[in-house]
């Protein structure tokens, strides 16, 4: 007998869940997805990180087909502008920095060279950084670029939906009116829709967004609030027409009460303002956003209210919460879609056969907690390490970070040491780029760089820099490559 899996809610989370379940477990499961055309989705998660490629392979997506269907472009990193100080800019790229050794990472050599006056900018030793700055991109070749995508979230959900329905998934139109729970186990037995239909299941996936209709309202799982560290609580998205060739990176531009994103797609640009309502009203945010976008506005923006934090348990009984129902870490480093994908991957590894396993649920919850806290710390890093004068930024700087992040900051400040734990999403190069970009200058660094004679160190770095510059110069312009490889239909 097949396991009945009911997905409550559509959008990116719901249809990604449907895609991997129907692709990987079709003989074992019967999947039903419930969504209502009357209920909109947040739909602003248009920027991803490189892990998306592995998940797409699991669900059998053809890259060029997916990109053409969603108006996608390529992404090599994020440009952070005005973050540490007004006028500052650095790029958190997806590539590695230079070449490392078993004793120490490349940035220790670079810090030694910088002290001796023989180092170029840190980004000159990373191909992804150089290609992003020059607006170049291509697939294949050596060295291979590490990349992600920008895409239209609405088109992405529709693209996934068409594939899932062609694979036999049952989609039910309707609003969830009531959650029926078993009187003995407390597990969810069925979902009752407003039209009177009852949908029973064995496992329920909550993709109902910030409300958490199943995990929160019905099962009463609490929420751990992280707003003391991440006080922004509003997002105001707007779409505009493109006025320039698409850049292969996201822009995150800080302002006095938060930041603004710009995400270039083939057919438009995704824009939005993230802000803290303690320092900026919704009307002021709208005025500011209008003044800082290029191109014709395609929609009228409405503010989205949110609270950063996580559910105390993402898996409760026979319900697993995904995406916003499981928690929310603001979109600064484009982690939302990754967290959906890694949650689904972990769920398939622990998928219940017959009775729900409390041990499996506990393992899932512990992994989810560690992953979200690691992402949380990386996001807080950008805010905490600032030197801006405005009250919002002073608040972010003066709020003591979580102990786990404070330890990382101290380790880098004292000796330039950075690391990636097994549960960490972000690699050493990511931590280094952001810490240095946010003006955290280490007092010391590993002495291994001083062992190499000055002339030899200068030669090695110069050869590395010129090799990367030559490799970048061989790449076509990003827009030219996109037009040739995956042009979207008009």
Question: What is the set of active-site residues?
Answer: 75
Contact 34, 174 (CB under 8 A): yes
Residue 97's CB is within 10 A of a number of other CB atoms, namely 23
Cα separation, 268 vs 250, whole angstroms: 14
* Cα 209–chain centre separation: 16
Name the 3-class secondary structure at 140: coil
* Phi, psi of 48, deg, nearest 5: -125, 180
Strands (E), 95-207: 148-150, 170-173, 176-181, 188-193, 198-200, 203-206
User: In angstroms, what CA-CA distances link 243 with 239, 295, 430?
Assistant: 12, 6, 30
Please state the φ and ψ torsions of residue 304, each to the nearest 5 degrees: -105, 125
Q: CA-to-CA distance for 47 and 477, rounded, in angstroms?
A: 20
Q: Is the dihedral of CA 370, 149, 275, 438 positive or negative?
A: positive
DSSP secondary structure code for residue 297 in this structure: B
**Residue 319, H or E segment:** strand 319-321
399 — alpha (psi -120 to 50), left (phi > 0) or beta?
beta
Q: 3-state class of 231 per DSSP?
A: coil
Cβ atoms within 10 Å, residue 350? 15
Chain centre to alpha carbon of residue 412: 24
Whether the Cβ atoms of residue 215 and residue 321 lie closer than 8 Å to each other: yes
Burial of 12 (0-12, 13-18, 19+ CB in 10 A): buried
Helix H or strand E encompassing 395 = helix 391-398
| Surface-to-core class of residue 160, CB atoms within 10 Å of its CB (0-12 exposed, 13-18 middle, 19+ buried) | buried
């Amino acid at each position: 007998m097949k396991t009945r899996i009911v997905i409550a809610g559509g959008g990116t989370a719901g249809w990604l869940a449907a895609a991997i379940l129907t692709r990987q477990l079709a003989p074992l499961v019967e999947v039903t997805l419930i969504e209502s055309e009357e209920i909109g989705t947040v739909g602003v998660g248009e920027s991803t990180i490189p892990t998306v490629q592995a998940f797409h392979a699991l669900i059998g997506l053809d890259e060029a087909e997916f990109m053409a269907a969603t108006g996608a472009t390529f992404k090599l990193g994020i440009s952070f502008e005005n973050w540490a100080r007004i006028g500052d800019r650095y790029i958190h790229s997806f590539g590695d920095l230079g070449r490392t050794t078993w004793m120490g990472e490349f940035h220790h050599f670079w810090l030694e060279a910088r002290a001796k006056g023989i180092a170029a900018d840190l980004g000159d030793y990373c191909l992804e950084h150089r290609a992003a700055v020059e607006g170049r991109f291509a697939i294949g070749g050596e060295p291979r670029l590490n990349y992600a995508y920008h895409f239209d979230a609405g088109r992405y959900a529709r693209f996934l939906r068409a594939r899932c329905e062609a694979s036999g998934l049952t989609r039910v139109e309707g609003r969830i009116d009531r959650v029926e729970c078993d009187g003995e186990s407390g597990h969810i037995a069925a979902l009752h829709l407003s039209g009177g239909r009852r949908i029973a299941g064995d496992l329920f996936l909550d993709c109902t967004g910030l409300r958490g209709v199943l995990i929160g309202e019905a099962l009463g799982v609490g929420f751990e609030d992280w707003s003391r560290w991440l006080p922004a609580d509003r997002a105001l998205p707007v779409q505009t027409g493109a006025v320039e060739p698409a850049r292969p990176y996201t822009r995150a531009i800080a302002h006095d009460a938060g930041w603004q994103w710009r995400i270039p797609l083939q057919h438009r640009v995704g824009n939005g303002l993230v802000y803290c309502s303690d320092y900026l009203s919704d009307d002021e945010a709208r005025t500011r956003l209008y003044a800082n976008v290029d191109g014709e506005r395609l929609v009228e923006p409405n503010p989205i209210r949110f609270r950063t934090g996580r559910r105390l348990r993402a898996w409760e009984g026979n319900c697993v919460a995904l995406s916003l129902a499981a928690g929310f870490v603001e979109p600064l480093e484009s982690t939302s879609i990754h967290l959906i994908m890694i949650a689904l991957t972990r769920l398939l590894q622990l998928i219940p056969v017959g009775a729900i396993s409390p041990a499996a649920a506990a393992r899932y919850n512990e992994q989810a907690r560690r992953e979200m806290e690691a992402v949380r710390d990386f996001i807080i890093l950008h805010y905490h390490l600032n030197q801006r004068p405005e009250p919002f930024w002073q608040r972010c700087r003066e709020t003591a970070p979580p102990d786990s992040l404070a330890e990382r900051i101290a380790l880098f400040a004292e000796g330039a040491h950075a690391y990636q734990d097994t549960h960490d999403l972000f690699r050493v190069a990511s931590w280094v780029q952001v810490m240095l970009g946010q003006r955290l200058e280490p007092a010391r660094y590993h002495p291994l760089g001083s062992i190499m004679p000055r002339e030899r160190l200068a030669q090695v770095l110069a050869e590395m820099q010129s090799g990367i510059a030559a490799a970048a110069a061989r790449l076509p312009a990003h827009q030219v490559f996109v037009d040739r490889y995956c042009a979207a239909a008009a």
